[in-house]
Structure formats: C-alpha cells, structure tokens
Amino acid sequence: MARNTIEVSEQAGVRYLHFASTWVQGAMRVQRPYALELTYTREMMAGLLLRDPPWPRAALLIGLGAGSLAKFIHRQLPATQITVVEIDPQVELVARLHFKLPDDPLRLRIVIADGAEYMLRGGALYDYILVDGFDRNARAGVLDTLPFYQACRARLSDEGLLAINLLGRERGFQASAERIGRAFDGRAVLFPSCDGGNTIAFATAGDPVDLPFVDLLARARQCRQATGLNLLPTIAGLQKAHCLASDRLTL
C-alpha cells in the first residue's frame, strides 16, 4: 500500500490536503464542507449535463483525496451508490478526521486497493467512473495507460461515462488523449483547461451523447437549482474553445 506524508493546512477558510509537496490533493471550504471548492472537481461532475436523471445509479471514484467528489455525490445525489478505491489507508483516515467524509457504509464504500489492479480484474459495472489519482509529484502512473482505459471501458454500463483529471501531464498530454481515444474508439472529448491547469476528459462507449447548446444551458440551470453546482462556466468554456460542433456536444 502507498504511504504518503500527509499534511493538512488551512488558509482563508479553506482547508487543504497535501502529500508532502506543493501540489494540492484536495480542498474544503470549512463553512461549506459538501460543496466542490476546486474548479476541476466541479468540471468532473459535468457528466450530470450529459445524461438524464436519475443518473448515475452507481459511481466509482479512483482516488479519494479530501473526499470532495464523494461528499458531493453523497449529499446531492441520494439515489447514487458510491464506491471509492484509494490506495493509501491514511488518506481515508485524514478525510474522515479533517474533511467530514460521511460514515455511511450503505451508500459509500471505501475500498483500500490499487486503483489500476481493481479495474483490471473486472467486476461490477458503473454509470460514472471518475479517475483522479496521483502521487505526491502529480504523476498518474499506471492510471494513464491504454490497458487501464480499456479496463474502464469494460466496467461502464450502457449509460456509462468516464471522467479523467489530466493534471500534471503537460509533456504527455497528447499521448494521454490518444490513449483515451484508442480505448473508446474516438468517443472522447477534452474539456478546455480550467483554473490550475487541470483538463478533464470525458469518454463513453455506450449510449450516444448528442446535445444542442440550448439543452446544455437548460440542464446546467436545472443542475444548479437542484444541487447548487454551477456548470454554466463549463458550457461557456466549451463554446469559447469551439468544442461544440454546430452548437452541439456529441460523444
């Protein structure tokens, strides 16, 4: 099992998780512990724009960090069963002690295991797989390989979507995108880089996504009203970066 020197700091009302480096592994606004503080975590939830509710029924998170995504899904999507795979048992302990990770074994299951090995051995299918796993130097390692992406594809349901945080892959960014594209027969899209340099990739091999701009706007407004999550800046970024061919998002 991986062991990191874990540090928790707090500044201006925001609590941060570090693995003995300057890289932020997670953050929580103390007065809003279940909101998504970091921009890239909000973008990783953009799958809510691409599928009709109630979705997802089952979500799998590779990498726990401060538990931001797990907490948001647990609080705002009460019909969703959540599995989190985290390689370091210390991270789970810190998330519970300092970042208000819920204790709800009926809906939120934490598996201490290597994320790549967990995916490669097969098993249950998921509607939403979110990959956000890095070491202290922001390296993804085996989580950025063709076999891993192929394993993710094999674990998706017909409505399944994969969301991947591509932070820290500047030199191999195009190679990462190509691997994702190969694993999903080209059915992948890179969202424009957000604050902090994170880029989120989405991919699917099941039911198609084909949404006009006006529908994306309507879904974003509904999502904001239902969950408090504002994805309107994400849609504006897609339009500005010319990611909407003929004013549609297709996947």
Residues tagged active-site = 132
Closest CA to 123 of 87, 165, 156: 156
Q: Which two tokens stand for residue 135?
A: 């070491």
Residue 66, phi then psi, degrees to nearest 5: -80, 5
Q: For 228-245, give one letter per residue: b (16+ CB within 10 A) or e.
A: ebebeebbebbbeeeebe
Work out the end-to-end distance of the chain between its first and last CA atoms, rounded to an integer number of angstroms: 36
Residue with tokens 């509607």: 127
- What is the rounded CA–CA span in Å between residue 162 and residue 4? 27
Residues 202, 161 contacting (CB under 8 angstroms): yes
CA distances from 12 to 36, 96, 119 (A): 16, 21, 38
- What is the rounded CA–CA span in Å between residue 68 and residue 41? 8
Q: How many residues does the chain have?
A: 251
* H/E stretch holding 53: none
Residue 179, phi then psi, degrees to nearest 5: -65, -40
